[in-house]
Amino acid sequence: MTFISLVRHGQTDWNLAKRIQGSSDIPLNDTGRAQAETTGRALAGGRFDAIYASPLGRAFETARIISSHLGLGEPGALPAVAERNYGEAEGLTGAQILERWPEGTPVPGRESRDDVVRRALPALLELGETHPDESLIVVSHGGVIGSLVRHVTDHALPGPGEVIPNGSVHRFVYDDGVLRLDRFNLGPEDRDLLTASVM
């Protein structure tokens, strides 16, 4: 049994402006770095064996900051958990997207949630296979985490309008070829759950 804690990266200026980032490589802002520090401190004291991250800068820097609190060294790059590609919608706000492509209209170049799951899930299953009985951290993105949570909970989570906050932790369990959700939307205030022994 392997525990995989998916962490959403810290805030960027595009997050703050409510612009869709997708595969655009937008860096953390000062708030995002502070969020990564807070998450790292909250995770410190738990037992973690390795850390991986999306290669996009906002995720990889978040992972480096978290790792500095856990003594795990340089994160491993995991390209399969890079953010969902939003095609021509990248850089736009939700209102601008709806104006250009009304509800139900395909956005050119946007990756479907199913496609996100098809690339991200096998990478996590492989981590589970290659790290038996370990606890891992994977720093990723809201679109990827949300797609995986929907998939493994049969769309029970997240609820309507429920967001995945910057710096939040979502713990999955890999066991015998299956990934399931163990804890959803843990924040620094949930330190006892974040650091609880899960082995």
pLDDT of residue 198: 47
Element (H, E) at 116: helix 113-130
Neighbours of 109 (CB within 10 A): 13
pLDDT of residue 136: 98
Break the chain into its structural domains and give their ranges.
Answer: 1-184
Let me know the angle formed at the C-alpha of 14 by 11 and 19, rounded to the nearest 5 degrees.
Answer: 125
Size of the chain in residues? 199
pLDDT of residue 99: 96
Catalytic residue among 37, 61, 83, 155: 83
Class of domain 1-184: alpha beta
Residue 5, classed as helix, strand or coil, is strand
DSSP per-residue letters across 12-61? BHHHHTTB--TTS-PPB-HHHHHHHHHHHHHHBTB---EEEE-SSHHHHH
Which residue ranges are tagged as binding site for substrate?
8-15, 58, 83-86
pTM: 0.95
pLDDT of residue 20: 97
pLDDT of residue 191: 73
Annotation marks residue 9 as catalytic: yes
Spell out the per-residue pLDDT of the chain, length 199, in tens. Answer: 999 999 999 999 999 999 999 999 999 999 999 999 999 999 998 999 999 999 999 999 999 999 999 999 999 999 999 999 999 999 999 999 999 999 989 999 999 999 999 999 999 999 999 999 999 999 999 999 999 999 999 999 998 889 999 999 999 999 999 999 999 998 888 877 777 644 4
